[in-house]
Structures are given as structure tokens and as C-alpha cells.
Structure 1
Amino acid sequence: MFYLDMTLRLFSALLAGALIGVTRERIHKPAGLRTHALICVGAAFITVLSTTVFITDDHGDPGRVAAQIVSGIGFLGAGTILKKGFSVKGLTTAATLWVTAAVGMGFGAGEYLLSSVVTVFALMIVLFLKKIELLLGGRNLPRIIITAREDKDLLGNITNWFKDNAITVESIDVEEDENNISILVEISKGDVIKAKQVMIDLTRIEGVRGAEIR
């Protein structure tokens, strides 16, 4: 009976991790179904060991093992975050890895109900909140991120390009990285469609290596 319960905990963690992971897999994120399933079942197994094997009546502290899982997943999640200029990618993936580990720990501790509830909450956040965020217009103004080589005349040429195309610029920020620069341009929400239509012309400015709108 003991091993049946332990197996059920691990299987529940595997299922929960796979459910969360498949939501990332379908949009081709670096950490997908297998990664989330492995993290969830691994966290569950370590929790099971910490509460059944590594602790006795005389010594042992299962909380220490749980703390190591949290910090370990933090390092793993940090590896999925990529910053290039003003563009930061992977924050949501890192967060889902962290929550997945927490779900695994919950199942490993035998908290089936709470862990199932958190799994449902995680699925709701990943599947639906992005759509709501877009419906509400997002958190910031539309942004155009430009990568280019360092050139003293480049910023002026880019500014003139926006003026010539009648695109309202709300703010411009520049970040230097060795011989390259990243330029973040926030534009008016009403000019997004227009900017997308003429984006290819922006990349033809001498010195511009790439541009994307978000």
C-alpha cells in the first residue's frame, strides 16, 4: 500500500507536468512537454525521498531538501531567459518551470487536491491570460526593437524615417553592446498597422541589421 501511494504521487506529478509542458510545446518554446514532465516528477521524487528516507525520528529535515529544489529550479529557469538588447525572452518559460517544480513537490508530499488546483491555475494562466492581456492592449506601448552597427548618423536617419512615414514616436532609448547598438522605439498604438506595412524599408537603412515590432 505504501509503494502504491508513492507511485500514485509520482504519476500524478508526471501527468501534471506533462499538461503544463504541452502548452509550451505547442508554441515551440525551448522547455516543452518532456522538460516540464521531468522537472515535475523529479521534484516529486526528491520530496518523497526527503519525507520517507532522509528523515527519521532522530534526525532529518525535509524542509532543507525542498529549499534546494526551489533554488535549483531557479538556476535552471535562469538558463531559459535570453536578453538581447532590449528584448528579453523566456521569462514565462522560467516561471512555468518554477511552478511545475512546486506542483511536483506538492504531489510528492501527498497534497493531491492543492497540487491539482495549482496545476489548473497554471494552465489557465498560460492558456488564457495572454489573450486577455492582448485584448486589453498589452502592458506597454507598441515597441520597435532595432539592432544596428554603431554609426554616428544612424539615430538621425532612423528618426527621419519615422517622420517620413508619419509614425508617431513616443520615446527612443539606446543601449550599446560592444560594436552593436540596440534602439528601442515606442510608437503610438494607432500606428502599429502602418509600421508593420513599411517595416521592410526600415531594415534598408544603412547600418540597420534587423528590426521587429512587439
Structure 2
Amino acid sequence: MQVFVDFFLRLVAATVSGAIIGFTRERIQRPAGLRTHALISVGAAFLTILSIYIFFDGKTGDPGRVAAQIVSGIGFLGAGTILKKGFSVKGLTTAATLWVTAAIGMGFGAGEYLISSSATGIVLLIVVAFKRVDLFAGKGSKQTVTIEMHKEHAMERLAKKLDKLKITPLHIEIETDEDSISFEFVISDEDYKILKRNIVEFASIEGINSIDLGD
């Protein structure tokens, strides 16, 4: 009974830790949120417990064999949250939090409460506090917007709408394929707010396929 309680507490601790990390992604509408991170953490903890205590009898078996597969296996799940659109790559931070959440779950599964709790605190510091550092450093003073349109309607219509709203892109990247063209442009926070307020006007431009306002 005592062993069961110990294992249960490890699973609970892993779940709570994963949920806390996932909440930081959930609140900014990332693809992997609270439940995903909690499931990954408790799953990693459970597999680690099985690997160490069930699949190894002290003489035969490898206590680290199953747990080792978590590290590589979670990479495939994290890769699913990464999106390349135009010249930008998004989802890297979420993929990284999924990977480190699995590692923390493994730590709790191994019974290492202190180091796993410390790692959770460091992750929260990185994803929450470090974002404020980015803002202070000026990284947050610009926004990236991606607009995909049909080629035949692209440049002239978009340019007229930007000019009408007095939005001046600081940088523009263009990517074309057979049927469409993507504009990725960097604008100031003030212009970004104007664009969001007038998003219906942009959406009404004939030929627009999609508008991605980024974070």
C-alpha cells in the first residue's frame, strides 16, 4: 500500500507540474495547452515508473530502456506543433516546453521531487519572465503578419489597403508558388493595433486566402 501511495504521489506531482507549464501556453492560445502538457508529464512519469520498477526485477531487464524512448518519442509530438509559413517558423517554444515537460515528468516518475520541482520553476521563469525581458529589449515592439493571396490580386490590392490605413511595413518578405503569393511583413505595435481593428477590411479584399496575425 505504501508503494502504491508513493507512485500515486509521483503521478499527481507530474500532472500538476505539467498543467502549470501548459497553462502558460494555454493562456496565449498555443496549440498545446494545459491538458496536453499535463498528459505528457503524467505519461512520462508513468512510463518511468514502469521502466524502473516493473520491467526490471533487479537482475534482468534494463531499467532505463523504456524511459529512454520518451526522450526521442516526444520529439515527434513536439514537431507537430511547429509550423513553417512563408519565411517564419512558429511553435518552437511550445515544442520545447513539451520536451522539457516530458523530462520533468520522468524526474517525478523516478521520485526526484526536489530537482523536478526546481526544473518546473526554471521553465516557468523562462516562458513567463524571459518574455518580459524580450519586451524590455524591444523584441515585443514589432509584430509579424502573414497574408496569403491569389497572385493576380496580390500586390496592388494589398498596397492600397495598407496605404489607406496608413500602415507602413518595416520589412517585407515575399514567397510565391504556382497559385498564390504570401506577404510576411513586420510592423510596429501601433500599426498592428490599427490592422487588428480593421481586420474585416483586410479580410474583405478579393483574393485573400488567409491572414495570420502571429502572437
**TM-score, structure 2 as length reference:** 0.78
- Aligned 1:27-176 pairs, distance under 5 A: 27-138=28-139, 142-151=143-152, 154-155=154-155, 158-159=158-159, 168-176=168-176
Q: Which residue matches 1:182?
A: 182
Instruction: Give 5+ residue unaligned stretches, structure 1.
Output: none
In 1, Cα distance between the equivalents of 2:21 and 2:45?
Answer: 15
Tell me the number of residue pairs that the alignment of Structure 1 and Structure 2 aligns. Answer: 213
In 1, Cα distance between the equivalents of 2:27 and 2:191?
Answer: 31
The answer to whether residue 7 in structure 2 is matched with residue 6 in structure 1 is yes
In 2, Cα distance between the equivalents of 1:158 and 1:203?
Answer: 11
| Bigger mean CA deviation after superposition, 1-10 or 162-171 | 162-171
In 2, Cα distance between the equivalents of 1:141 and 1:26?
Answer: 21
Change (3 A) 1:144 1:60: same
Between the aligned residues of both structures, percent identity stands at 52
Distance apart, 1:50 and its partner CA: 1.0
**TM-score, structure 1 as length reference:** 0.79
Instruction: Give 5+ residue unaligned stretches, structure 2.
Output: none
CA contact (8 A) 2:141 2:189 kept: no
CA contact (8 A) 2:71 2:99 kept: yes
Root-mean-square deviation (CA, aligned residues, Å) is 3.1
Change (3 A) 1:59 1:11: same
DSSP-derived class of the 1:60 partner = coil
